[in-house]
Chains A and B, each alone.
Chain A
Amino acid sequence: MEHGGNLVNRTIMMPASVDEAVEALAATPGAVPVAGATDLMEAVNGGRLRPAALIGLGRITELRGWRYEDGGTAVLGAGLTHARMDRPDFAALIPALADAARTAGPPQVRNVGTLGGNIATGAPAGDTLPVLAALEATATLARPGTVREVPISHLLTGLDPLRPGELLTWVRVPLLHAPQVFLKSTGRSGPSRAAASVALVLDPARRGVRCAVGAVAPVPLRPLEAESWVAGCIDWDARGEDGAVLIDPAALAAFGEYVAAACVPEGAAGGEGAGPAGARLRRTVAVLARRALGRALK
């Protein structure tokens, strides 16, 4: 058939362990690792990608779960599916990541699409990416004999990209034991790409608020000044009658505007933030950031 034919007569390997996969990747130049293939096959079918060989990661069971480290870090396998991350046990651990996974496309995509794939594809609207940026997660990249740890944001921005022959194996996420929120605005009720998304996590131990905005730029954006400003507006010790953390409602709204102005600058005419589309995006980000912080503090 027309489309399936594109992969006929090509090498497909199915390693059973990380070591085997890394060896195979090193031994086969031009090979592409593939997990859920939800992005890859679309590119193959569209004629934009003709991989010389494929290394299927589906049999590497160790990458499909997670473990704990040092009591304060979760080490997530790159092969965790979105459907798995949406389950209650995982949601109790990293709620914002679970929320992002839940909205990442229709069930068919979530059942096979993986965390590692979301990072490796690095699409602007990748739903888990702003959460990982807000959590300041790091990625483990493996090559035969060597392993290195890179912040996800460096990986995505290209500051420290995936090198040839490297395989993304694990994602380290700090466990914060505090409220986290992921909000995604789409143009419709059905599964859809984010028009804009906001991930916001509280870090009470360090009295910090960390926020990342997705889908408005090629990579998630961190409004660092807005984060530190709003952290100073929060009375971390006092609690309201309903147990909510105290913050002036005006500060909530100002935080939203601050985040929006930082992430969707008005800029020059013809740029991203210009015109009615830019104004619409700024407004959406402002509302999402305000609502995200309000819900996190509730």
Chain B
Amino acid sequence: MTSATELPAAAPADDETGSTGLGSSPLRTDALPKALGIYPYAADLWAEGLLWGAVLRSPHPHARIVSVDTSAALAVPGVHAVVTAADLPGGSDGGADGATPGPVVADRPVLASGVVRHHGEPVAAVAADHPDTARLAAAAILVEYEVLEPVTDPEAAFHAPPLHPDGNLLRHLPLRTGDPDAVGEIVVEGLYQVGRQDPAPIGAEAGLAVPRPDGGVELHLSSTDPHGDRDRTAACLGLDPDRVRLVVTGVPGATADREDLSFQVTLALLALRTGRPVKMTLTRAESFQAHTTRHPALLRYRHHADADGRLVKVEAQILLDGGAYADVSAEALAAAVAFSVGPYTCPNVFVDAWAVRTNNPPAGRMRGEGALQTCFAYESQLDQLAKQLGVDPLEIRRRNAMSTGDPLPTGQAVTCPAPVTALLDALADSPLPALPLDDPEADWLLPGGPGGAGDPAAVRRGIGYAVGMVHMLGAEGEDEVATATVRVSGDHATVICAAVDSGQGFATLARQIVQSVLGVSEVYIAPVDSDQSAAGPAARGRHTWVSGGAVERAALMVRHQMLQPIAADFGMSVELLTISDGKITSYDGVLGMPVSQALEGRELWATAQCRPHPTEPLDPETGQGDAFVSIAFCAMRAVVDVDIELGAVRVVDVTVAQDVGRALNPRQIENRIEGAVAQGVGLALLENLRTEHGIPLNASLTGYRLPTALDTPDIRIAALLEERDVVAPFGAKAVSAAPAVVAPAAVAAAVRAATGLPVGRLPILPEDATLA
């Protein structure tokens, strides 16, 4: 993969001239340790006298547990503890007694009791003095199952026997706006399917639990939501939250939640039970069973348009397969419904959406959950519309594009910048990649793999466009807040903020913010643990906004403390002093002093919170309401080569235009876009955790194909549009989710252009791209 973008000529290390503030691209704080292999991940942790944990998982997607006999496992020499659901206080349903606030519905047991609802559900766990012993002992636990018929078809879930006491319907959200009888001159219909993408983090789940003398437990793992995880773990263990301390270790990649609750609670329980540190690392196969996937979706759409292609009415039915447990399905459904029309204006919208439980692997949070599935559907619909009208695909999108102030179908006015037309224009102006015919010397990688299967005579090139949107921060009334502390002593600053750098670069951003505000050269970002004030989960672009905002406010308070005595000395107000290049200068440039001198012998600190404006739930009857804080937009052009005989597709180039509000760290933004596009290309062509009767068929990195460098196209940035969002800290928007939402739709559009076929499912299979 190469990035054709001209980067600002920043040196690989921090520029000594001081270009480390906002808008520059200093080196990521974790880049060197990761490249050198010295970055500590959870799997590297060690404690004297530790035991190893292993989990016994259900081989059935749906079964009643008749009995569990742990005596054989306990008899294995070296085994120190075996735990089952009976060892958990407060019954089996995790957190049911101490139901925790937040978006997570407490329906998922830590260890199954009575019934298992998906393949790989944890049933029991073992701690032993050797990992092999632990695994052997886990296998020796005798579980008698009464196998039940699994519910695997989400459409059948409505009428299937209930998998939980509250039924299989997790949420039904209708949306009604405008005139239901409106009709357009042109009507296009489509049925769309999205497969099951797995986050497949390269670092599998791992953690270490250490019992504390006060009866509590300390968990070392790569959580992305330390406080939420602490509270839920404590509730499941029947402990006060302050008895559980969660220390965040290096996160080995997270595009979804990490280290599911069952893993954390089981680990903590084993440590409490044995009184010794317990370490657990999941194998790749277990990792696929343990974490949640993207929601598979079935979408039926009908678009009405007038003769010019302007949308008159959109009707849609959306079905998300939530799998065995609720997780964040309700939230994903809200996004699917609110963004069901896409970044377009349409006066009449009628949507019904459902999230259901099945015995399939549980679905959860994963970049743009809900928004991604609908983006594929509405963009496919617009392609159909363009084809019917004989209009250029860019033009049909321009005619319907939303602008700032336009309403979403939920009735909420989009008050943040919505530069959809500008994004499309940026794509239109961007040059196309050369055809191999124009450059016969170039090494042309044919679709069908490097095995020589491709044939240039059968290759067709296609160009496709897609635009999409995704919300930032929690929706529907979720309380969004983060707290940060900035301390300055001498010429260096420390940031204490429990926002986890899950790879999104928050630590680098926090450093940039403090350097910009205070002019100090050294900024230390303290490691995160749950004894600090909460900053919330690393998801939905939250940390750039709320945690970045909290760091800025704290830094500004410190700045005020620092400048006040100097301003008094100079006989002017603080507002007339500026800090740049490590110097404090008066407005007229006459007076000045280095920051280090101003700070000499002083220690200043401040703690601040950032809490964006509140949102409200969507109306359960009409789907109306101001549910989102802000929205990010992205437009993409994909160029693909298709071998129309083999049905093989290779993505040649993806060009991105993105609405970023303000580019706080351009290089980091480009990296995030590249990563998200690669993930989107993976979903479009390669990634699908296939199941048969609820059992995953390809739960390995051989069977589950993640895109490699050769599968990833050239990714070019046509524009990072900087129209500041006035309510956001720094005016910046989060960048990672939007390209992941749009990329699959863009690739599908390009395959459609190359083959003329409808392309109604993701991932695209060879038969969807084969011309007979």
| Chain A contact residues, CB within 8 Å of chain B | 2, 5-6, 46-47, 99, 102-103, 181-194, 197, 276, 279-280, 283-284, 287-288, 291
Contacts and interface: CB of A to CB of B under 8 A. Distances in A.
A284 B685 contact: no
B46 to A, nearest CB: 10
Given A190-B707, A190-B710, A287-B645, A185 B451 contact: yes
B118 to A, nearest CB: 22
Given A276-B767, A280-B767, A188 B449 contact: yes
Interface in B694-738: 702, 705, 707-711
13 contacts: A5-B130, A5-B131, A46-B283, A47-B135, A185-B448, A186-B450, A187-B449, A189-B447, A189-B710, A190-B707, A190-B708, A283-B647, A284-B646
Contact of B711 (A47, A185, A190, A280): A190
Nearest to A276: B767
Contact of A99 (B452, B708, B766, B767): B452
Contact of A291 (B453, B702, B708, B770): B453
B129 to A, nearest CB: 12
Contacts of A184: 449, 451-453
Given A184-B449, A185-B448, 12 more contacts: A2-B131, A2-B132, A5-B132, A6-B132, A103-B449, A182-B451, A186-B453, A187-B648, A189-B447, A194-B451, A280-B766, A291-B455
A277 B709 CA distance: 27
B76 interface: no
B686 A187 contact: yes
Contact of A189 (B449, B702, B765, B766): B449
Nearest to A100: B451
B453 A183 contact: yes
Interface residues on B, range: 35 or more
B449 A192 contact: yes
Contacts of B530: none
B283 to A, nearest CB: 8
Interface in B637-690: 645-648, 650, 685-686
A291 B450 CA distance: 15
B651 to A, nearest CB: 9
B708 A191 contact: yes
Contacts of B593: none
Contacts of B283: 46
B131 A279 contact: no
A195 to B, nearest CB: 8
Contacts of A191: 450, 708, 710
Main secondary structure of the interface of A (DSSP, over half): mixed
Nearest to B447: A189
A262 to B, nearest CB: 19
B56 to A, nearest CB: 14
B391 interface: no
A287 B646 CA distance: 7
A190 B686 CA distance: 11
- Pick from A283, A287, A288 the residue with the most CB of B within 10 Å: A287
A103 B449 CA distance: 9
B445 A189 contact: yes
B281 interface: yes
7 shortest A-B CB distances, which residue pairs? A184-B451, A190-B708, A186-B449, A185-B453, A190-B710, A189-B710, A103-B451
Nearest to A198: B453
B711 A193 contact: no
Contacts of B451: 99, 103, 182-186, 194, 197
B760 to A, nearest CB: 14
A188 B701 CA distance: 14
A181 B283 CA distance: 39
A47 B447 CA distance: 36
Nearest to A191: B708
Interface string B425-469: 000000000000000000001011111110100000000000000
A193 B52 CA distance: 34
B766 A284 contact: yes
Contacts of B707: 188, 190
Contacts of B711: 188-190
B619 to A, nearest CB: 42
Contact of A103 (B135, B450, B645, B766): B450
A188 B449 CA distance: 5
Nearest to A42: B702
Given A2-B281, A284-B766, A287-B646, A188 B453 contact: no
B445 to A, nearest CB: 6
A69 to B, nearest CB: 29
A183 B647 CA distance: 16
Nearest to B283: A46
Nearest to B648: A185
Contacts of A46: 283, 285
A191 B711 CA distance: 9
A283 B770 contact: yes
B132 A280 contact: no
B648 to A, nearest CB: 7
B132 A188 contact: no
B377 to A, nearest CB: 22
A188 B686 CA distance: 7
Contacts of A102: 450
Contacts of B453: 183-186, 287-288, 291
A214 to B, nearest CB: 11
A188 B708 CA distance: 9
Nearest to A182: B452
Contacts of A99: 451-452
Contacts of A183: 451-453
Given A99-B452, A185-B448, A193 B702 contact: yes
Contacts of A193: 702
- Pick from B445, B452, B685, B710 the residue with the most CB of A within 10 Å: B452
B450 A189 contact: yes
Nearest to B458: A287
A100 to B, nearest CB: 8
B767 A188 contact: no
A194 B450 CA distance: 11
A189 B447 CA distance: 7
Nearest to A196: B453
Interface string B269-288: 00000000000010101000
A5 B135 CA distance: 14
A123 to B, nearest CB: 11
A117 to B, nearest CB: 17
Nearest to B702: A193
A189 B650 contact: yes
Nearest to A284: B646
Contacts of A190: 707-711
Contacts of B452: 99, 103, 181-184
A188 B131 contact: no
